[in-house]
Amino acid sequence: MTTISQPAVPVKSPTRRGSWSRRAPLLPALVITLVLTQIPFALTIWYSLQHWNLLNPGHKGFAGLDNFRTTFGDDTFWKAIKNTVVLTGGATIASMLVGLVLAMLLQKKFPGRGIARTLAITPFFVMPVAVTLFWRSAMFDPSFGLLGWLTDSVGLPRVNWLSEQSMLSIIMITSWRWTPFAMLVLLAGLQALPDDQLEAARVDGANWWQQFRNVVLPHLRPFLELTALLLSMNIIQTFGEIALLTAGGPAFGTTNITYYVYLRAFNSFDFGTASAYGLVTLVLTIALALPALRLLSGIFQKEGRR
């Protein structure tokens, strides 16, 4: 192994000493992330193989695959998975669509644009638990809620949002919260669009829709992918809204996997099965997320070449 004095500029084949001094800054973050994510993960695997119910302390010991049999045979678990897909997909798509429209509107200069944008991004910053409780009593409530008053004003029948349209309610409040974030990323994307391309399209006589389809949309693609990824990653973890609005009901109709594992662990105190649920959830999430991760890795490759 050749030893060269510290290279002044990055070189392609680092010496051993060089490569260590390069890796050192990475280590603290890497070690902490490893410890905080992989130890719980390893322990979850271990617990999932145990009988361990706090309400039944006598029955403790190795369970083999019992907990997994329970998990796979549990209809509610599959329902929770379905709900997770509906909620995550619905809220992600809704946030992206509204966010895109709003970003396109706010991209152009008009009087008070700064204030309009400031107002539009506010739902992203307010505390979710707080606004969820407020929505529950002031927006969704069948007799006092603003939504009821709105449907009355346009002559529609009153809806008892949280019990009749529970999933829609949760998708609504979740999209409301994440739309500003989508808008911000997409606005950033639109502002990075080089003018000459639109100019060229305009000169060629392309109408608004053609400009949008052939210039804006292809340019926005990586931003749309990134938005979809960040939104779904966050919305899949939705917990507070469900806990506070519907408590997963009615009939587990709004229970997503996060909330279901929580119910198993902290309501039935069945740590063994809850761990199995958690583990299966993890594997399924990763299976669903792998295509998304591959996509992201594509983005890395594109922007990472230098």
Partner 1 sequence: MTATALHPSEKKTVSPGPHNRPRRRRRRPANDQASWPVAVLGWLGSLVLFSPIAYMLLKSFQTETDAASPSPKLVFHPTLEHYRSTFQAGFWAYAGNSIVVAVVSTILVLLLATPAAYALSVRPVRKTQDVLFFFISTKMMPVAAGIIPIYVVAQHLHLLNTVVVLLILHLGMNLPLAVWMIRSFLQEVPGEVLEAAAIDGAGRIRIMRSIVLPLVRPGLWSTALLCCVFSWNEYFYAVNLTTTTSTLPLFMQKFLSFGELYTAQVAAVATVVSIPVVILGWVCQRSLVRGLLFGAVK
Residues 116-135 that bind partner 1 (CB under 8 A): 116-131, 133-135
Which of 63, 106, 171, 235 is close enough to bind partner 1 by CB under 8 A?
106
185 part of the interface to partner 1, by CB under 8 A: yes
Contact window for partner 1 (CB under 8 A) among 64-72, 163-171, 188-196, 203-211: 188-196
Which of 2, 5, 267, 301 is close enough to bind partner 1 by CB under 8 A?
301
243-246: long-range contacts, CB 8 A cutoff, minimum separation 24: 244/129, 244/132, 244/133, 244/136, 245/132, 245/135, 245/136, 245/140, 245/162, 245/166, 245/169, 245/170, 245/173, 246/162, 246/166, 246/169, 246/170
Number of residues near partner 1 (by CB under 8 A): 121
| In the complex, minimum distance from the CB of residue 241 to partner 1, in angstroms, rounded to a whole number | 9
Contact window for partner 1 (CB under 8 A) among 68-76, 85-93, 203-211, 262-270: 262-270
Contact 132, 173 (CB under 8 A): yes
79 part of the interface to partner 1, by CB under 8 A: no
304 part of the interface to partner 1, by CB under 8 A: yes
* Three-state secondary structure of 138-163: HHCCCCCCHHHHHHHHCCCCCCCHHH
166 part of the interface to partner 1, by CB under 8 A: no
157 part of the interface to partner 1, by CB under 8 A: no
Judged by CB under 8 A, the chain residues 3 through 32 that form the site for partner 1 are 8-10, 12, 14, 19, 22-26, 28-30, 32
Judged by CB under 8 A, the chain residues 226 through 245 that form the site for partner 1 are 226, 233, 236-237, 239-240, 243-244
| Cα(14)–Cα(143) distance, integer angstroms | 70
Nearer to partner 1, 118 or 210 (CB): 118
The helix or strand, by DSSP H or E, that contains position 135, with its residue range, turns out to be none
The helix or strand, by DSSP H or E, that contains position 116, with its residue range, turns out to be helix 113-125
Contact 87, 171 (CB under 8 A): yes
299 part of the interface to partner 1, by CB under 8 A: yes
